[in-house]
Amino acid sequence: MKHSTRGRWACFGVAVSMLVLPRLGEAALGGTAASVAADRAALAAVHRATTTRGAYTVQEFRSDSSTVREYVSASGVVFAVVWNGRAHPDLTTLLGSYSGEYRAALRQTARTRGLRRQQVQSDGVVVEKWGHMRNLQGRAYAPALIPTGVTIDEIK
């Protein structure tokens, strides 16, 4: 009977680890302001600037291949991510918990030959990518998390 209780606790611990640990490493869009440092480390980037504008703060960091800006609301939630550079950054890291939703929406989006701009939209996230070789840009945002008074045009 004692073995059974230990086994259940072990299973519970593994289940909790599976739910919590990946989010700590992948927190970004929809994550807390603390996730910005995790994203910077995951992309091997260095902090470049912090800019405060009315209802949000922009954290900018740069890696060898791209510059990333994360928009953090006054309540401490990352509501948008913007990038530009020679290559698109790892979106799994930047989209965090929205990554799966993005991939599912991407699979349903028809590909157009010669298209230089792509928009993938789901219920919770919008991802836009454009540009050409060595000048690739994009942005992702969670419309429900955008602070009141902030327009999408400010996310650039």
Q: What is the pLDDT of residue 32?
A: 84
CA distance 85 to 137: 7
With a CB cutoff of 8 Å and minimum separation 6, the contacts of 94 are 28, 29, 39, 68, 70, 81, 83, 140
Q: What is the pLDDT of residue 137?
A: 95
Give the model confidence (pLDDT) of 97-141 as tens digits.
Answer: 999 999 999 999 887 777 678 899 999 999 999 998 889 999 999
18-24 contacts at long range (C-beta below 8 A, 24 or more positions apart): 23/96, 23/97
> With b meaning 16 or more CB within 10 Å and e meaning fewer, what string describes 70-79?
bbbbeeebbb
Whether the per-residue pLDDT at 143 is higher than 70: the answer is yes
Confidence category of residue 49, pLDDT binned at 50, 70, 90? confident
Q: What is the pLDDT of residue 22?
A: 39
Whether the per-residue pLDDT at 18 is higher than 60: the answer is no
Q: What is the pLDDT of residue 23?
A: 40
Give the model confidence (pLDDT) of 50-106 as tens digits.
Answer: 899 988 999 998 988 899 999 999 999 999 999 999 988 889 888 989 999 999 999
Per the DSSP assignment, residues forming a β-bridge with 75 are none
